[in-house]
């Protein structure tokens, strides 16, 4: 059984050096230059909130909403953890951008042939047994790569060993069904720009619960529409029959309409 990979980002250790973004840009052939926000040329970005540095990237959800809403299967979640994107299949509907609870995917608006852009968790490196470029480049040990279950346990151990240092929460452990990018911090997550009120149910589960009711709705709606059509059509036939009787084009012994 393949264990899902993840990254644990300890915001108490991040020094804001931006080595993670530089390594990411190099690994993915992106334009050089520091960027403070995610973009089509920045798959990872470093924000500062009152002296605390926060790394933004694709969360690689355990049950990704982008995968569930894509009508052409351009997104896929691998067993190892990464959520990958196939630009050859993409039709540019951008449902993924609307559905992502973390507003991660970016679009190449200025390109003649635009694509959706986001972190792919260095899938090619992971399959070779290597770390993602950003984790390998971190000089302060703020980013650790490994098996998701092991990293959750490590986060719990760190919080237990120094309870005064960390808030009692691992962000990404349960949010929207869990993510492959986990965070621990000394500052409440809502103060660092995180969506701290996300539900724990995976969003695709909610989508399926709604869609699973559609056949019943369609069936009931179909019967209703057929009934309306039948009544309308029947009324028209009766009117024609009565008109033909009145004009003498039909005699009563020809029978009523069936």
Give per-residue burial for 177-195: e unless 16+ CB within 10 Å, then b.
bbbbbbbbbebebeebebe
Query: pLDDT tens digits, residue range 172-214?
Result: 999 999 999 999 999 999 999 999 999 898 887 765 554 444 4
Query: pLDDT tens digits, residue range 20-58?
Result: 999 999 999 999 999 999 999 999 999 999 999 999 999
Where do the domains of the chain lie, and which CATH numbers do they carry? 5-202 (3.30.70.20), 213-254 (no CATH)
Q: What is the pTM of this model?
A: 0.79
pLDDT at 210: 45
The set of residues, in sequence order, having a beta carbon less than 8 Å from that of 177 and lying 6+ positions away, is 61, 62, 63, 200, 201, 202, 203, 204, 205
- Pair 57, 167: CB distance under 8 Å: no
Query: pLDDT tens digits, residue range 128-153?
Result: 999 999 999 999 999 999 999 999 99
The set of residues, in sequence order, having a beta carbon less than 8 Å from that of 196 and lying 6+ positions away, is 171, 188, 189, 190
pLDDT at 209: 53
pLDDT above 80 (res 5): yes
What does the mean pLDDT of the chain come to?
Answer: 87
pLDDT above 80 (res 242): no
pLDDT above 70 (res 253): no
Least confident interval from 8-17, 111-120, 176-185, 200-209 = 200-209
> pLDDT-based confidence at 228, cuts 50/70/90?
very low
């Amino acid at each position: 059984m393949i264990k899902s990979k993840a990254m644990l980002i300890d915001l108490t250790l991040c020094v804001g050096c931006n080595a993670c973004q530089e390594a990411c840009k190099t690994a993915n052939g992106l334009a050089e230059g520091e960027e403070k926000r995610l973009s089509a040329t920045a798959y990872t970005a470093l924000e500062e909130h009152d002296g605390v540095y926060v790394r933004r990237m694709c969360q690689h959800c355990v049950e990704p909403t982008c995968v569930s809403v894509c009508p052409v299967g351009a997104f896929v979640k691998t067993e190892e953890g990464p959520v990958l994107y196939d630009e050859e299949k993409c039709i540019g509907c951008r449902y993924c951008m609307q559905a992502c609870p973390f507003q991660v995917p970016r679009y190449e608006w200025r390109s003649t042939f635009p694509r959706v852009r986001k972190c792919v968790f260095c899938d090619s490196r992971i399959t070779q047994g290597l770390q993602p470029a950003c984790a390998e480049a971190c000089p302060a040990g703020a980013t650790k790569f490994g098996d998701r279950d092991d990293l959750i346990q490590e986060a719990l151990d760190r919080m237990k060993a120094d309870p005064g240092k960390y808030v009692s929460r691992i962000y990404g452990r349960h949010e929207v069904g869990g993510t492959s990018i986990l965070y621990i911090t000394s500052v409440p997550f809502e103060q660092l720009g995180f969506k701290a009120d996300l539900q724990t149910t995976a969003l695709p589960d909610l989508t399926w619960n709604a869609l699973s009711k559609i056949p019943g709705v369609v069936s009931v709606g179909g019967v209703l529409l057929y009934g309306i059509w039948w009544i309308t059509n029947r009324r028209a036939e009766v009117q024609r029959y009565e008109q033909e009787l009145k004009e003498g084009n039909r005699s009563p012994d020809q029978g009523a309409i069936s």
